[in-house]
């Protein structure tokens, strides 16, 4: 273990102890807030403080990727606003309807390569009859489905 890692763990422990002491002094140790809860909450706060000052390599790389992506988007917006709007529209469609599946054919317009598919949940309501209607008049069941959307004809359906 290198020196910076040891310093980081020591700072994490200090932050956890400091936040636990803070919660002990502010709330006290009574029946509602037990010492284990306060200590675990102190560890959580200490971890957040530690991550804020010493982010991991994964977090640093993700922050750098996000910064580069924002810079590219800003340059594209300045250079070609229409292309930027098209990119943002495509990104929003992907977030709402999922990724484009090139092998799926739309059953409505027969276009291939324009269908977006995203996993979802469908809720079915059934009306109970007989004695079951007194206890629970309606029963809601959930099932996993694939929601599909065609960019060409703008139709949505479930698979």
Question: Which tens digit of pLDDT belongs to each residue from 33-75?
Answer: 566 666 677 777 777 777 777 777 887 888 899 999 999 999 9
pLDDT of residue 132: 61
Question: Per-domain residue ranges for the chain?
Answer: 3-54, 99-158
Q: How far apart are CA 157 and CA 67, in angstroms?
A: 37
pTM summary value: 0.53
pLDDT of residue 68: 95
**Cβ density class 121-137: b for 16+ within 10 Å, e for less:** eeeeeeeeeeeeeeeee
Q: For strand 138-150 and strand 156-158, is the pairing parallel, antiparallel, or unpaired?
A: antiparallel
Percent of the chain at pLDDT > 90 equals 42
- Among residues 108, 106, 138, 109, which one has the least CA distance to residue 124? 138
């Amino acid at each position: 273990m290198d020196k910076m890692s040891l310093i980081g763990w020591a700072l994490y422990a200090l932050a956890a102890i400091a936040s636990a002491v803070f919660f002990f002094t502010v709330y006290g140790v009574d029946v509602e807030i037990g010492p284990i809860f306060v200590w675990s909450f102190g560890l959580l706060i200490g971890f957040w403080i530690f991550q804020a000052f010493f982010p991991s390599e994964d977090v640093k790389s993700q922050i750098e990727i996000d910064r580069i992506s924002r810079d590219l988007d800003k340059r594209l917006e300045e250079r070609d606003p229409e292309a930027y709007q098209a990119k943002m529209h495509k990104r929003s469609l992907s977030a709402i309807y999922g990724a484009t599946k090139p092998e799926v054919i739309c059953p409505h317009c027969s276009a291939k390569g324009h269908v977006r598919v995203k996993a979802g949940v469908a809720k079915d309501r059934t009306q109970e009859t007989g004695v079951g209607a007194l206890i629970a008049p309606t029963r809601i069941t959930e099932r996993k489905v694939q929601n599909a959307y065609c960019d060409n004809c703008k139709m949505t359906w479930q698979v």
